[in-house]
Amino acid sequence: MEKSKNDVWVGLFVLLGAAAILFLALQSANLLSLSFQSTYPVTARFDNIGGLKPQAAVKSAGVVVGRVDSISFDDKNFQARVTLALETRYHFPKDSSLKILTSGLLGEQYIGIEAGIDDKTWAAGDTISSTQSAVVLENLIGQFLYNKAAEAQPSGGSTKK
C-alpha cells in the first residue's frame, strides 16, 4: 500500500513538471498570452511586414500595450493589413505612428508605437496610415553588396599605354 501511494505522488509530480514545461514553451514562443484586459481593434497597413507573426507584441516605450491579432493581404492596395488588439487602458493620439522593429539583431519582430501629440485618440475600428515597414536584413545585405560591386568597377575612363 505504501508503494502505491508513492507511485501516485511521483506521477502527480511528473505531470505537474510536464505542465510547467509546456506552459513555459508556449509562453516563450508567444503562442500563449495570459492577458485578461479588454482590448479594442485597430488596423494598420504596411508595405512589408518581414517576419511579423500573429500574437507578436505591440509595444510603446518598451511596454507591451497589445498584441497583433491577425495579418492579411489587401489585394487592392497590395499591402499587408495588420489588425492590432490594444488594451483599452492605453489611448494613443491619432497622429501616432507604427514601426515594425526587431528585438536584438536576429530576434523576433514586434510593432512599436511612437505617440503623437493630437488631442483625439484612436478608437475601435480605426485605420492607421502612418506606418514604417520592417527592415529586411537580406535587402540591406543585397544593397551593400551591390554598392560595393558598383564601386569596384572601373568608370570607363581612359587607359594609359
C-alpha grid cell, residue 78: 497590395
Mean pLDDT of the chain: 85
Decide if pLDDT at 128 tops 80. yes
The one-letter amino acid code at 87 reads: E
Decide if pLDDT at 62 tops 60. yes
Residue ranges covered by each domain of the chain: 1-32, 39-146
Q: How confident is the model at residue 51 (pLDDT cuts 50, 70, 90)?
A: confident
pLDDT at 147: 83
pLDDT at 156: 56
Taking the C-alpha atoms of residue 74 and residue 140, their distance in angstroms, rounded to an integer, is 26
Phi, psi of 66 (to 5 degrees): 175, -170
pLDDT at 108: 84
Taking the C-alpha atoms of residue 93 and residue 16, their distance in angstroms, rounded to an integer, is 45
Residue that wins the pLDDT comparison between 39 and 159: 39
Q: How confident is the model at residue 58 (pLDDT cuts 50, 70, 90)?
A: very high
pLDDT at 30: 59
pLDDT (mean) for 135-141 = 75
Decide if pLDDT at 59 tops 90. yes
pLDDT at 161: 52
For residue 158, what are the contacts with CB-CB under 8 A and spacing of at least 6?
none
Taking the C-alpha atoms of residue 48 and residue 140, their distance in angstroms, rounded to an integer, is 14
In percent, the amount of the chain with pLDDT more than 90 equals: 38
**What does the pLDDT look like over 79-127, one tens digit per residue?**
999 999 999 999 999 999 999 998 876 778 899 999 989 899 998 889 8
Report how far Cα 103 is from the mean position of its chain's Cα atoms.
9
Helix (H) or strand (E) holding 136: none
